[in-house]
């Protein structure tokens, strides 16, 4: 069964070490940002605007059909979307025998603990609070983001670290901006630390 | 001081003022960090998408609030979207008014909503003008042979 509209058709064997991320977000602005963030970290990106489209892309809309040559390494989805939410999409993916192993990361503008818990319980790997930054996406390197095999010499991701602020008298450096939220550990990090201990 | 250096300094000062006055926050910095030779227009492209999105949403909001019977859920959904995209590009003041707006929606406070809409339109107009000025300055600097100091 051919998957129509495949933008970045990943062919088996050719770029199999390149991480292919399926990004789902109804906001065009956010899609553009997440796509850029992932591409900077050498990922192949397919961005869709809804959960329904994501399921179509995966071949999960009709039946659990296998789409020839499709390889998705990570799914990153917005939580609040009209129609099917990111949570609904997460559930559908975890219910699928073909795709349940694919790590799913949820993004949300609202840092609501019960919401985060719910997603984790349903099998989400991580939860990113929007607006999404490069450091958030770099955190996903466990799933291959930023390169997983040494074959490909990727730019040292630490060079992209924001702590290397622009030189001289630029007063727009992150530390000075009074409005930036306090840097806190991702709630998922703390939760992950407890759950891995239980494995 | 040569022209390019002067222009660079002006650009820096202007950008800095936008942060100081709260028009932009750190997320805008983040976007600038994502721009490079392979994607030299990234920030302009994202911000342009934001402008289009915002204008569409502001239209929808105006229409929704003109109705005899206001669907607050619908209004809230639009404001939520606007809050999201303004947050994603670092348009702090717009984002803040969105937060207040959502509270009024929750309270089903028509007066509050109308007031918020006016405020958002104002803030949006301001940040749009300022960003357009910023981009123009960058373009002029580039044309004069300089490069934006954010890179």
State the best of A23, A25, A26, A29 to mutate against chain B, taking most chain B CBs within 10 Å.
A29
Q: With cut-offs at 50, 70 and 90, classify the pLDDT of residue A142.
A: confident
Q: With cut-offs at 50, 70 and 90, classify the pLDDT of residue A146.
A: low
In B, minimum Cα distance to A174 occurs at: B26
When mean pLDDT is compared across A51-65, A99-113, B117-131, the lowest value belongs to: A51-65
- The reported pLDDT for the residue numbered A187 is 52
- The reported pLDDT for the residue numbered B74 is 94
- The reported pLDDT for the residue numbered A184 is 43
What tens digit of pLDDT does each residue of B25-68 get? 999 999 999 999 999 999 999 999 999 999 999 999 999 999 99
Q: Measured between CB atoms, which of B19, B46, B92 is closest to A29?
A: B46
CA-nearest of B34, B4, B32 to B16 is B32
Q: Which of B128 and A187 is assigned the larger pLDDT?
A: B128
End-to-end Cα distance, chain B = 21
In angstroms, what CA-CA distances link B119 with B16, B17, B38, B115? 24, 21, 38, 6
Q: Is the pLDDT of residue A14 over 60?
A: no
What tens digit of pLDDT does each residue of B99-110 get? 999 999 999 999
ipTM score for this prediction: 0.93
Are A58 and A158 spatial neighbours (Cβ–Cβ below 8 Å)? no
- The reported pLDDT for the residue numbered A160 is 45
Q: Measured between CB atoms, which of B22, B53, B92 is closest to A28?
A: B53
CA–CA gap between residue B106 and residue B110 (Å, rounded): 10
CA–CA gap between residue A84 and residue B138 (Å, rounded): 41
Pairing relationship of beta strands A104-108 and A74-78 according to DSSP bridges: parallel
Average pLDDT over residues A8-30: 75
Q: With cut-offs at 50, 70 and 90, classify the pLDDT of residue A143.
A: confident
Instruction: Flag if A33 and B88 touch (Cβ within 8 Å).
Output: yes
Q: With cut-offs at 50, 70 and 90, classify the pLDDT of residue A186.
A: low
Instruction: Flag if B88 and A40 touch (Cβ within 8 Å).
Output: no
A133 CA: distance to closest CA in chain B (Å): 7
- The reported pLDDT for the residue numbered B91 is 98
User: Which pair of tokens denotes residue A158?
Assistant: 């630490």
- The reported pLDDT for the residue numbered A161 is 42
Cβ-Cβ contacts under 8 Å for A125 (sequence gap 6 or more): A103, A104, A105, A143, A188
- The reported pLDDT for the residue numbered A141 is 73
Could you tell me what percent of chain B has a pLDDT over 70?
97
Average pLDDT over residues B111-133: 98
B107 CA: distance to closest CA in chain A (Å): 19
Compute chain B's Rg from CA coordinates.
Answer: 18
User: Which pair of tokens denotes residue A118?
Assistant: 């719910």
CB pairs under 8 A between A and B: 84
CA-nearest of A117, A2, A6, A19 to A76 is A19
Apex B145 CA angle, B140 and B146, nearest 5:
75
In A, minimum Cα distance to B82 occurs at: A27
CA-nearest of A144, A136, A183, A186 to A161 is A136
Instruction: Flag if A171 and B84 touch (Cβ within 8 Å).
Output: no
Apex A31 CA angle, A28 and A35, nearest 5:
145
């Amino acid at each position: 069964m051919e998957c129509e509209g495949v933008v970045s058709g990943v062919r088996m064997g050719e770029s199999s070490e390149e991480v292919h991320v399926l990004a789902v977000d109804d906001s065009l602005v956010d899609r553009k940002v997440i796509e850029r963030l992932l591409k900077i970290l050498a990922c192949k990106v397919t961005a869709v605007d809804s959960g329904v489209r994501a399921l179509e892309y995966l071949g999960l809309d009709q039946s659990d059909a296998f789409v020839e040559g499709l390889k998705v390494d990570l799914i990153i989805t917005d939580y609040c979307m009209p129609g099917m939410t990111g949570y609904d999409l997460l559930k559908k993916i975890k219910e699928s025998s073909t795709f349940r192993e694919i790590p799913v990361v949820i993004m949300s503008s609202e840092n609501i603990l019960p919401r985060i818990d719910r997603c984790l319980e349903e099998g989400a790997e991580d939860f990113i609070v929007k607006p999404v930054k490069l450091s958030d996406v770099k955190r996903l390197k466990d799933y291959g983001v930023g390169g997983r095999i040494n074959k490909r010499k990727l730019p040292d991701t630490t060079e992209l670290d924001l702590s290397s602020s622009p030189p001289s008298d630029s007063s727009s450096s992150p530390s000075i901006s009074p409005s930036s939220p306090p840097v806190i550990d991702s709630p998922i990090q703390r939760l992950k630390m407890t759950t891995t201990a239980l494995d | 001081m040569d022209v390019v250096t002067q222009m660079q300094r002006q650009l820096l000062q202007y950008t800095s003022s936008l942060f100081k006055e709260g028009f932009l926050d750190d997320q805008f910095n983040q976007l600038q960090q994502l721009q490079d030779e392979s994607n030299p227009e990234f920030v302009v492209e994202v911000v342009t998408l934001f402008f289009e999105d915002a204008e569409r949403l502001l239209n929808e909001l105006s229409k929704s609030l003109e109705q005899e019977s206001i669907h607050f859920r619908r209004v809230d959904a639009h404001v939520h979207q606007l809050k999201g995209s303004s947050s994603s590009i670092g348009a702090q003041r717009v984002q803040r008014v969105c937060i207040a707006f959502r509270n009024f929606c929750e309270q089903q406070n028509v007066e509050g909503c109308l007031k918020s809409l006016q405020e958002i339109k104002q803030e949006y107009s301001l940040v749009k003008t300022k960003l357009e000025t910023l981009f123009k300055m960058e373009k002029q600097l580039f044309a004069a042979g300089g490069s934006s100091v954010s890179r």
